[in-house]
Amino acid sequence: MVPLSLGRGSTARSAGQDLHRSLTWLRPANIGAATNAERRALFTWLAIFVTLGVAIALAHVWLRLEVTDLGYALSTTHQVIQKLESEGHELTAEVARLDAPDRVEEAARVRLGMAHAQRGQEAVLP
């Protein structure tokens, strides 16, 4: 048996650390850098995809809000159109009532004091 002072050194090291140290010659020196580069690339792609997903989700929500707003605007426009059509029908009925020949004759007699022309009051102009 070899004394501790001449052997491996301190016993505080674990077997895993010893194994790791003994296998370092199997791994090239640039493996750590390559692994870090791969992690960075993987993280970058992950960040891009997450950002893209969030952007797509926000665009979807915005489009749904626009569709809802346009639906409300369309509903309001239909109500205005129905109101204007109803008002147009009422005005058409009022015009027909006011244009009736009997009403025009009565208004001419009462308001303007007009009467039907007697024979001889009519003149033909050249």
Q: pTM (2 decimals)?
A: 0.48
3-state helix/strand/coil string of 52-96? HHHHHHHHHHHHHHHHHHHHHHHHHHHHHHHHHHHHHHHHHHHHH
pLDDT of residue 14: 67
- Look-up of token digits 């159109």: 81
Residue 6 counted as domain residue? no
Q: How many domains does the chain have?
A: 1
CA-to-CA separations, 64 to 43, 74, 106, in angstroms, rounded: 31, 15, 62
Residue 4 counted as domain residue? no
Residue 52 counted as domain residue? yes
Contact 106, 113 (CB under 8 A): no
pLDDT of residue 66: 98
Question: Encoding tokens for residue 29?
Answer: 């020196």
Residue 121 counted as domain residue? no
Residue 124 counted as domain residue? no
User: Averaged in consecutive runs of 10 residues, what is the pLDDT profile of the chain (126 residues)?
Assistant: 52 63 63 77 96 98 98 98 98 93 91 87 84
Residue numbers of the domain that contains 94: 15-112
